[in-house]
């Protein structure tokens, strides 16, 4: 009995201390095991990070930024400028250039060309009109029945007189003139850049398909044809763009480049040239922040233009100044 009691005391007294010691031994080993399990995932996490980074580097940095973002920027600007060129209504002469009723009736009744010219000269004295026909007559449109402002011409396709007419473009189904000439130049610019982006990003695949380094598949035709079309369009567009940038620098229209405008003192191909910087400002405006966007920023109203070395009738000049003062 005494032996059993002594054994029970020993168990009661020694067990707590033994459990505590055992627990202290277990705690560090459990923490180590948790740390080890966590560290075991480091290689997996590393692989995932590498794969994630490779996706970002290729898709975002290479494709999205270098290809997709740049591609869509030029595409959007090209479409915007093209849309504005197409849908900007050609500017027409204002009512001020129409003959008053009395003069119009006299003009229509008169059969002699000299007498008709006298009527037109009388009306033109109150207008900022300094260009003439090759014969020195006032430029009058019998279709629209208006005195043509300087640089204005009648378009037989649009059937109207267009202010500062450059040409009628079938590719935009519209007249290119004062209201949309800036848009037209930007359209050519962004179309050229659009073709450059396509050629630059497609050429490596074009070469591989052409040299049989890549197997034939459904993409081959599109890649080869896309490169050829973009290259051909670039060659044709950039030549036209260069010509129109030259015209902008000279402050001429296509019509004036082929036929110099006639003034009271004769023809002058540089009659509207004011120097390179002012010539550019005539089309793009004097605020550079608007130059690259298809928003209207051209100078003037399309009815009158500053000329150089032009002999102006003093009577006409005074009348025009008075009219401008009233306006």
Among all residues, which ones are annotated catalytic? 169
Residue 297: count other Cβ atoms within 10 Å of its Cβ: 17
How far apart CA 288 and CA 26 sit, in angstroms, is 76
Q: State CA 74 to chain mean position distance.
A: 8
- Here the tokens at position 120 are 């037109």
Buried b / exposed e over 241-265, threshold 16 CB at 10 Å, is beebeebbebbbbeebeeebbbbee
How far apart CA 106 and CA 227 sit, in angstroms, is 63
Whether 287 contacts 297, CB under 8 Å: yes
How far apart CA 295 and CA 225 sit, in angstroms, is 34
The residue among 208, 158, 185 whose CA lies nearest residue 84 is: 185
The residue among 260, 303, 273 whose CA lies nearest residue 152 is: 303
The residue among 280, 277, 275 whose CA lies nearest residue 245 is: 280
HSE-CB for 230 with a 13 A CA cutoff: 19
């Amino acid at each position: 009995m005494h032996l059993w009691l002594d054994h029970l005391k020993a168990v009661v007294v020694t067990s707590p201390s033994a459990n505590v010691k055992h627990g202290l031994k277990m705690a560090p080993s459990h923490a180590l095991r948790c740390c080890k399990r966590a560290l075991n995932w480091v290689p997996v996490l590393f692989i995932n990070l590498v794969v994630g980074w490779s996706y970002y580097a290729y898709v975002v940095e290479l494709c999205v930024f270098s290809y997709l973002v740049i591609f869509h920027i030029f595409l959007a600007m090209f479409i915007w400028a093209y849309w504005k060129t197409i849908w900007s209504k050609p500017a027409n002469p204002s009512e001020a250039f129409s003959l008053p009723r009395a003069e119009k009736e006299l003009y229509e009744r008169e059969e002699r060309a000299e007498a008709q010219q006298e009527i037109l000269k009388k009306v033109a004295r109150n207008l900022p009109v300094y260009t003439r026909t090759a014969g020195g007559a006032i430029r009058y449109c019998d279709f629209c029945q208006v005195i043509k402002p300087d640089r204005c011409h009648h378009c037989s396709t649009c059937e109207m007189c267009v202010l500062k007419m450059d040409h009628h473009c079938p590719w935009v189904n519209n007249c290119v003139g004062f209201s949309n000439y800036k848009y037209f130049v930007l359209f050519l610019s962004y179309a050229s850049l659009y073709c450059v982006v396509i050629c630059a990003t497609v050429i490596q695949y074009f070469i591989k398909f052409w040299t049989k380094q890549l197997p034939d598949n459904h993409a081959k035709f599109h890649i080869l044809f896309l490169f050829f079309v973009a290259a051909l369009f670039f060659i044709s567009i950039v030549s036209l763009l260069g010509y129109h940038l030259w015209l902008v620098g000279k402050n001429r229209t296509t019509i004036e480049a082929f036929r110099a405008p006639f003034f009271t003192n004769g023809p002058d191909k540089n009659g509207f040239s004011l120097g390179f910087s002012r010539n550019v400002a005539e089309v793009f405006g004097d605020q550079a922040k608007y130059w690259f966007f298809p928003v209207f920023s051209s100078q003037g109203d399309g009815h009158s233009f500053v000329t150089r070395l032009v002999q102006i009738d003093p009577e006409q000049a005074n009348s025009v100044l008075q009219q401008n003062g009233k306006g």
